[in-house]
Amino acid sequence: MKLWVTDLDNTLCDTDMLEGDENKIGELELFPDAAKVFKVLVAQSVPIVVLTKGDFVYQRSKIHQIGLTEVIDNMYVAESDAEKVIYFKKILEEYGTSVEEVVMIGDRRDSEVALGKEFGAKTIWFRHGKYNEEGEAPEGVHAVESYEEVLELIPEL
Ligand SMILES: [Mg+2]
């Protein structure tokens, strides 16, 4: 593993609880044990890149609130799923990483996880929130429900 690409909403913190109310942003907390995972990645010199969709300032505020501003290497904020694909390719180029060495983690099986899988990245489906109450993990996709499980997965990624 040479590069960690992560979704933001419902992957780094529970943004469902915001219910669209920006005033609640101060209540966001990084998911338990995620900091442990990032510590391991930083120790292994694996850059952490956020690939998300939405408003840049809003997404950056969330990252700041959960204490990751100094932890992440970069953040790409797409306006659409199509733009997410473009950014993913751009990230591969900018880091000069072959896609097999990239881990893509997200809560949406049919969005970022499918995207990562399509390109041949290692994929983790973080089963949290409204999109994840049912459904099977596609072949080759690691399905987890906590960062404790992510931590256990790291040696095989
Ligand atoms: Mg998400």
Taking the centre of ligand 1 as the mean of its atom positions, its distance from the CA of residue 120, in whole angstroms, is: 20
- How many Å separate Cα 40 from the centre of its chain? 16
Indicate the SS3 state at residue 76. strand
Q: What is the mean pLDDT of residues 83-90?
A: 97
Q: With 80 as the cut, is the pLDDT of residue 113 above it?
A: yes
Stretch 135-144: mean pLDDT? 93
Q: Which residues surround ligand 1, an ion (CB under 5 A)?
A: 7, 9-10, 107
Per-residue pLDDT for 131 more than 90?
no
Q: Which helix (H) or strand (E) holds 151?
A: helix 147-153
> How confident is the prediction for the chain on average, in pLDDT?
95
Residue 44 carries which side chain, given as an amino acid letter? Q
- Looking at the 3D structure of the chain, how many domains does it have? 1
Distance of CA 45 from the midpoint of ligand 1 (Å): 25
What's the rounded mean pLDDT across residues 72-82?
Answer: 96
How far away, in angstroms, is 28 Cα from ligand 1 center?
A: 14
**In the prediction, which pLDDT does 36 show?**
98
77: containing domain: 3-16+25-156
Q: What is the CATH number of the domain that holds 50?
A: 3.40.50.1000
With cut-offs at 50, 70 and 90, classify the pLDDT of residue 71.
Answer: very high
If you measure from the C-alpha of residue 10 to the centroid of ligand 1, how many angstroms do you get, rounded to a whole number? 5
